[in-house]
Structure 1
Amino acid sequence: MSFLQYSSLVPDYTGLREDAKCSMVLSMHDLMHDLARCVIGDELLLMDNGKEYNSGEGNCRYALLINCVGQTKFSYSSTKLRAMRFFNCDGIQLPLFTKSLRVLDISKCSCGKLPASIGKLKQLKFLSATGMQHETIPEHVMKLSKLIYLNINGSLNISTLPTSVNKLRCLLHLDLSGCTGLCSLPNSFGDLTNLLHLNLANCYDLHSLPKSFHRLGELQYLNLSRCLSLNLMVDINAVCCLTKLQYLNLSRCSSLIHLPETIRGLKDLHTLDISGCQWIEIFPKSICEITSLKFLLIQGCSPWLEKRVRESQFKNDMLALPKFIVQRAAFGMCSNISRLQSVDPAELEIECLENVTSIGEVDVVNLTYKSALSKLALAWTPAAERFVEDEDLLRKLQPPDTLKGLQIQGYMATSFASWMMNLASCLPYLVRIEMVDLPRCEYLPPFGQLQHLELLILRRILSLRKLGGEICGGNGAFRKLREFTLVKMDNLNEWITKVSANGEFMFPSLHKLEISQCPILRLNPCLPRALEWRIEASDQIIADFYHTGSSSSLVLSKMHIRSCRLLPNDWKLLQFLPDLQVLELTHCWFYELPKSIGYLTTLRSLQIDGCDSMTKLSKWLVSLSSLHELIITGCLNLVYLPAFVQKLSALEKLEINDNDALQRWCRNSDSWISENGIKNKIYFDGKLMSTKKQEDTADIDRTDVRDYRNPCDEDEYVDCFAMLELGESSRMGR
């Protein structure tokens, strides 16, 4: 049992940088807190807004200064002070008695400047000064010869490091991540021979590593993620000389196009992250010889590389993440899920969770501690035998509260773990949720209270019969939801589109709505609000009547209907879409266009694709007074155009694709085309139509050219062709 537990409170990250949002919020039991206060007693000085809180008599070892403005004065001195932290202070003053200080944290101060007096802290070992405003690390920091930890991440103005950086000979940990203006490192950087941890992630302008970089022989952790300007075609060789590296992150480095054979020299390498490196052309066989390699992260790489990794014969049981398949041991007594304990990837897909044999195996994984994790997929095989109940297992697989994307698939329980029912507090930053193959689920968690949720996908949840207020979790739900998808919800028969007493839409800000293969779904009491709809094989929605006022608040501009089997007179939906601009009909089973299409007086584009049962265009088409574009693709039984097409006064483009019979009819109907004035508006397969007369003339011209060519050399042939062109122009003029 730990003294610290995860807090149920939602942390306030307002104003903090992205890296700070990865921190964890913990809580302590009241009794343990009282004990801690009793033990620390006289050793802690707390100063809040200039007022001191301390019961000791100058024996403080730790000081926390909060909301201190201007010059801070102490009423006493203590030579025992070892650690100081400034929080939300606009000025930093280090009193003389701090010369024995070992730890100094000014990362939460707004002043952005390190005082010159910091150079007097000869015993200082830990310095955190994130977000500095200096253009380089001040020289007085180089006087801290005993410093072992230095963190200046997010210091945007830093462009280089001083050559005297080699004076920090004891330095073990250096964090320069997010120093986006950092262009170069001095050659003296290689003198930091004791360095174990170096973080250069998101140093976008860093163009090269110093020639001395290979001398960092003790380095175990190196992060070069998103060093977009770094020339790894050259510098990768220096990296491969660091034989004690255990963690190497080269993700999203656009210049990385190959891994050299010398990578075999990284004998201690445990984790290699090359995710997002789409241009890697060479994957060396020698990487398979690194027996210490346990994790290879390749998400976002080319399909070729992913295939090459799968086919490679590694000398150990290396894992290629993000996909992790849970497997049972030979005798079925345990599984391999505990191997995830020592990895912290950005994305993780855990499949075959039914192979977990005990809850104890999952305890050591500690997903909640994996602060780098942004996307997580948890998948069971629905019909497979279980050793652990799905709900118990899900309870132990709680992700970190910084998670952005969550997918749950094959979950067989009827209810969810407590953290799933309290997503607003446990996973407040979720942007995307996908729930797939949940055959026994009758009720969904209150997703509506997730204030950042933008995408929600529900697929094959066969026991769900009603989508109502329970998914909202209260008022003010789904404020940022942009896309909502329902797929193969065979038994879903009702969606309550308005849920609050004041008639508020369930999804007030929806941009895209997709409903596919939901055959019995009805929308009550009105149509949902969205900019774009896609409805596939969900005929009940199209056949229903809706309240006469249900369309008054719609913002729908584009509709795509696919695989509808209704007869033309059964299409009722279209008459409730008065402001529709674009309508696409694909693989629908009608013999003519629905009668209700005549209600779409504002329609500007009509696209009909693959409706092979259609033999004619409906006369109701003449009501489309605003139609600018009519595109017909396929529809092989449509072999002519009716005369009323000429009444489409606003028509600017008539395009016919993949229908030879209809194209042939148009070419043979010169008089019809001329009467309707659409000669220059008809396109075949994306190209402007030429009439039969023009084609015949072109055929004659090509024959004439062939006749003239034999007796002429190349130059004479060109002249003959020019004369023919001139003759044709004269004929056209007459």
Structure 2
Amino acid sequence: MAADLGKQIFSQTGHNIVKNALIHQWVSLGFIEESNIFSTRQLSERYIKQLLGLSFLQLSKSPLTAGLSHEDVTLFTMHDLVHDIARLVMVDEILLDNKQDNSGGISYHYALLSNCFKPLESSTGYLAKIRALCFTNCREFRLSDGAFSSGKSLRVLDLSDCSIQKLPDYIGQLKQLRYLNAPGIQYQTIPNCISKLIKLMYLILRGSYEIVALPESNCSGIRELPESFGKLNKLNGEIHQDKLPLIGLPEVIGSLTNLKYLNLARCMDYVFGSPSTDQTDSFIGSISTFSNLEHLDLSKNKILCSIPESSSMLARLPECLTKKESLKVLNVMGCKLFEAKLPQSNFLFTLPHFVVHTGEGQSSSNLPLLEHAILDEFLELSRLENVKSTQEARSIKLIEKESINSLNLEWTGGADRFVEDMNVLGEMVPPNTLKKFVIEGYSSISFPSWVMNTGHHLPNLVSITLWDLPKCNSLPPFGQLPNLGEITLGRMHGIRRIDKGIYGGPGAFPRLIGFHLWAMHSLEELDFRDDLQTQVMFPMLQDMEISDCPKVRLKSSPPNAGNWTIILSDNVLSSRVERCHTSASSSSAVACLSDHLCKLVPMHQWVLLCHLPPLLHLHIDGCGDLSSASPEIIRALSSLKSLILEDNEKAEGLPRWLGELTCLQGLSLVGFQKLKDLEGNMRQLTSLQSLNLDGCSIME
């Protein structure tokens, strides 16, 4: 079936194919029929994956066409060779301009023409059985009055490459038309006869900025509001200064009762212009009457985030909507008010946040509902402790959902489990296109095999976060992820050492920019050495953060990160490290040292500073004893350009070594409440250009 659909793709060599439009053309042409199990949309998604797998289609790498963006559309292309083969197979079905003299034209089902500027002669019969007609390279010519008047069997009409003054009145005669792409109309109204297209399912009017009104006649045959409605800025002709509301949509929305898929993403802000509880309540209430509605997208509407929580209906969707058995998917991404308040049931789930739950006495959770869901770039699965079997986790086929770029998997800490976390995670292998990955609340001691081999399974991963994994006692070899730019490890109290196990071999973390360790209370040793030491590790590291890790000491020389942040981790400062040569050279560094609870260890113990690249900027917050600096420490500070000393309530004077920082250009003293004057050694700071005194209340 997928191969047959691949042959039917209606395009030119090198032409970008819009995924959403392609699906609706298939449906309009009858290639995909809804079954008792799968909707047409679900089947289409499955076939597209097969076509990509067979290389009939490829993701487009060319610049997007005007008016489109990555957020709005997915574009495909077809390789020239595959395109030519498909054309060869369908040679007797496609009418091209250079074949119009062929007397066999009456057998053609598809037409790709470039002569919209003159009417086709109906006597030739070219259009008698044509089901899909596309005009190409016609932007320089206006659409002729009779360009497609004889196409009584047309189901798909694509006028996107034509210059359209207005839609012709005879378009109402195309009783079989299901798909109409007519962007850029240069006329204020659409003819009333369009309401005669009782089978019309998909209408694109993108860029038709001259349109000021839609026909007032019945439009109940339309099954999907076009995404381009969100770009119309003069509907009914009302313009409010810098705001361009879509006045009129709330009045007609209630009549579109047959809608199955309704996309209002980024649209309601234009509809109402400014927040109005009564208007938005009424608007959403009217949507709840759609008996066939399956997919509702309300994402990225700022107006739904700014309504006060005290408002009666927008604190949650109407119960009549959330209890509709027809509604399967509700996308509320970016509408935080909804995300916090919406209930979920076995027939309704919200995206991008899916909460796994199960009713009392039920044999399974609601997780399998995700199997055929149409997912966006971000997916968050929480309360995974409610998964009742590994089969449920396997059934969603997460690895096939290649649209996901960011994935969060969350278990609730301390909650009872039906299935061991490791077994659930083992069945939830993400697609290899994943870029951001978060695991939170995972309670197993170790990881499944695919996590231990992430370098193979997730080669495109850019960011990974492991948070609140209390029992885990070892780390996967994340150092072999070729594109990893940021790693965050936090509240993993079973981890005592971070060493060669996380590196996984030589040349670890080739693109890592940020390495963050937070609240690792049991971590005792941080070793940056690799046994082989044949390749440089951390060659691009910029930010090294160690926060609330009170036990950890450095075993070896640290990587040459450009920025160091050490908070509540005194032992790091006083680590006497063994020198190694696994780090790339760096010309300078920035350090932030903070310890409010137990104060920093005495300054003469800050051995770490001697192992960092020459410091240019230093921020010491929660100053302890700054008077005992050793000659080695002073030499490590001699390159400083700026220095911030903050929160030293007891110091009555400045440290003597301050006068030896002859390169210092900027000095800030914050919270020195007992400091009365600046000592004479300040005169030695001959390079000083700025001095900031803040909270020095008794300074004379």
Alignment TM-score, normalising by the size of structure 2: 0.68
Please tell me the residue identity of whatever aligns with 2:365: S
Letter in 2 for 1:620: W
**What is aligned with 2:360?**
330
What's the secondary structure of 2:322's corresponding residue? coil
Gaps of 5+ in 2: 1-36, 38-42, 65-69, 114-119, 324-328
Aligned pair count?
Answer: 599
- Alpha-carbon separation, structure 1, partners of 2:690 and 2:429: 55
* Distance in 2 (alpha carbons) for counterparts of 1:627 and 1:149: 70
Q: One-letter code of the match for 1:569?
A: H
C-alpha change, 1:657 and 1:475, in structure 2 (3 Å) is closer
Q: TM-score normalised to the size of structure 1?
A: 0.65
- Report which stretch shifted further, 162-171 or 536-545: 162-171
- Cα distance in 2 between the residues matched to 1:8 and 1:577: 49
The residue that corresponds to 1:537 in the other structure is: 568
Measured in 2, the distance between the counterparts of 1:133 and 1:604 equals: 63
Q: What is the alpha-carbon distance in structure 2 between the residues aligned to residue 632 and residue 171 of structure 1? A: 75
Contact 2:408–2:437 at 8 Å: present in 1 too?
Answer: yes
Cα drift, residue 386 of structure 1 = 2.4
2-structure distance, mates of 1:463, 1:8: 42
The structure number with the bigger radius of gyration is 1
Confirm whether residue 649 of structure 1 aligns to residue 686 of structure 2.
yes
Alignment partner, residue 392 of structure 1: 423
User: Is residue 302 of structure 2 the alignment partner of residue 279 of structure 1?
Assistant: no
Aligned to 2:156: 126
Could you tell me which residue of structure 2 aligns to residue 693 of structure 1?
none
> Within 5 Å, which residues of 2 pair with 1:392-541?
392-399=423-430, 403-414=434-445, 416=447, 420=451, 430-438=461-469, 439-440=471-472, 442-444=474-476, 446=478, 448-449=480-481, 451=483, 453-464=484-495, 465-468=497-500, 471=503, 478-479=510-511, 481-489=512-520, 490-491=522-523, 493-496=525-528, 503-508=535-540, 510-519=541-550, 521=552, 526-541=557-572
- Give the deviation of 1:476 after TM superposition: 8.9
RMSD: 5.2
Determine if contact 2:189/2:212 at 8 Å carries over to the other structure.
Answer: yes
**1:15 corresponds to 2:42:** no
Partner of 1:658: 695
CA gap of 1:365–1:613, structure 2 versus 1, over 3 A, is: farther
Q: 1:403 to 1:197 in 2, by over 3 A?
A: farther
Deviation at 1:487, TM superposition (A): 1.6
Q: What does residue range 104-253 of structure 1 map to in structure 2 within 5 Å?
A: 121-126=151-156, 132=161, 142=171, 146-150=176-180, 163-164=190-191, 166-167=193-194, 169-170=197-198, 172-174=200-202, 176=204, 179=206, 181-189=207-215, 192-200=219-227, 203-204=230-231, 206-210=232-236, 230-231=244-245, 235-239=249-253, 242-245=256-259, 247-252=261-266
1:566 paired to 2:601: yes
Structure 1 pair 402–71 and aligned structure 2 pair: CA distance change class (3 A): farther
Specify the alignment match of 1:218 in structure 2: none
- Give 1:585 shift: 0.9
In structure 2, do the counterparts of structure 1 residues 101 and 447 end up closer, same or farther at CA, with 3 Å as the change threshold? farther
2:321 is paired with a residue of what secondary structure? coil
Contact 2:651 2:672 in 1 (8 A): yes
Q: Deviations over 1:449-482 (max 9, x none)?
A: 354x543322233444334475578869543x44
How far apart, in 1, do the equivalents of 2:394 and 2:584 lie? Answer: 54
Q: Does the Cα contact within 8 Å between 1:326 and 1:337 map onto a contact in 2? A: yes
Is 1:293 the counterpart of 2:316? The answer is no
What fraction of aligned residue pairs are identical, expressed as a percent? Answer: 23
Superposed displacement of residue 586, structure 1: 1.3
Q: 1:505 touches 1:529 (CA, 8 Å); kept in 2?
A: no
State the Cα distance separating 1:624 from its structure 2 match.
Answer: 1.5
Q: CA deviation at 1:194?
A: 1.5
Quick check: 1:590 aligned with 2:625? yes
Give, in whole Å, the separation in 1 of the partners of 2:616 and 2:568.
Answer: 22
Q: Is the 8 A contact 2:533 2:581 kept in 1?
A: no
Measured in 2, the distance between the counterparts of 1:612 and 1:463 equals: 37
Contact 1:591–1:616 (Cα < 8 Å) also in 2? no
**Contact 1:514 1:535 (8 Å CA) reproduced:** yes
Give the direction of change, closer, same or farther, for the CA distance of 1:404–1:127 in structure 2 (3 Å limit).
Answer: farther
Cα distance in 1 for partners of 2:188, 2:479 equals 48
Q: Is the 8 A contact 1:494 1:524 kept in 2?
A: yes
Q: 1:632 and 2:669 equivalent?
A: yes
Q: 1:658/1:430 Cα in 2 relative to 1: closer, same or farther (>3 Å)?
A: same
**Are the counterparts in 2 of residues 391 and 417 from structure 1 also a CA contact under 8 Å?**
yes
One-letter code aligned to 2:608: L
Query: 1:262 maps to what in 2?
Result: 282
Deviations 1:485-542 (A, max 9, x none): 222333362343789966333252x443322234455667643243322122333432
- Of 256-265 and 601-610, more deviation after overlay is shown by 256-265
Change (3 A) 1:650 1:284: same
Q: 1:414 to 1:517 in 2, by over 3 A?
A: same
C-alpha distance 234-151 of structure 1, shift in aligned 2 (>3 A) = closer
Distance 2:657 2:464 in 1: 42
d(CA) in 2 for partners of 1:554, 1:14 = 36
